[in-house]
Amino acid sequence: MKKLLAAMVLTLSTAALAQADTTQQNTQAQEEQKRNDPARVKTGMDATEVAPAIKDKVDDARAAVGLDTAKDGTFKTDKAFSIDGTLKGEAMGGITLARQGLPDADLDVRDQTKVMLDGKKVELKAIPEGAQVRAKFQLEGEQPVAVEINAKSPKGTKKTTK
């Protein structure tokens, strides 16, 4: 039921935003002429004023059904999903995990993401390629965002102390 509600809200907001986009397709000159026309009767609201309000409602609906945004609690672990894999690499603010028999998984890593290596808090770049990783993540829209990354050094690697 929650997923249905979320899908319905997203569909309605997409339709409203699409309608706002078609309104904006007029040239700026035509819009300026319409605004300056003294015979024009002003009724209702401009679509550009409605779109931000709809986005806020969509974010509220997502939070209500567990599709949290960063503002509403992406980094809460109680509703996070888990994934296991081997660190394949880092790129563009995220990591790629290789999973046996499954496609690679890309996770976005943020400043709030808790990163651990062998039980110690570290920077993301300290995790070597090939490390076994168990990650918890949330979805922000369709983007998986890492909440926690727990990695174990691959066998045969030397531990460095700082």
Residue type, 5: L
Helix extents (H) in 25-161:
28-36, 47-64
d(C-alpha 112, C-alpha 138), whole Å: 13
Higher pLDDT, 12 or 118: 118
Nearest to 87 by CA among 114, 127, 45: 127
pLDDT band at residue 107 using 50, 70 and 90 as cut-offs? very high
Per-residue pLDDT at 32: 75
d(C-alpha 117, C-alpha 132), whole Å: 10
74 neighbors 88 (Cβ within 8 angstroms): no
What SS3 class is residue 126?
A: helix
Percent of the chain past pLDDT 90, that is, above it, reads: 29
Per-residue pLDDT at 136: 92
pLDDT digits (tens, 9 = 90+) for 126-149: 999 999 999 999 888 788 899 999
The two three-digit tokens of residue 21, written as one number: 């986009």
C-alpha dihedral, 46 to 51 to 54 to 55, nearest 10°: -160
Domain range annotation of the chain: 2-64, 77-152
In CATH terms, 77-152 corresponds, of 1.20.140.10, 2.40.50.320, 3.40.630.180, 3.40.50.880, to: 2.40.50.320
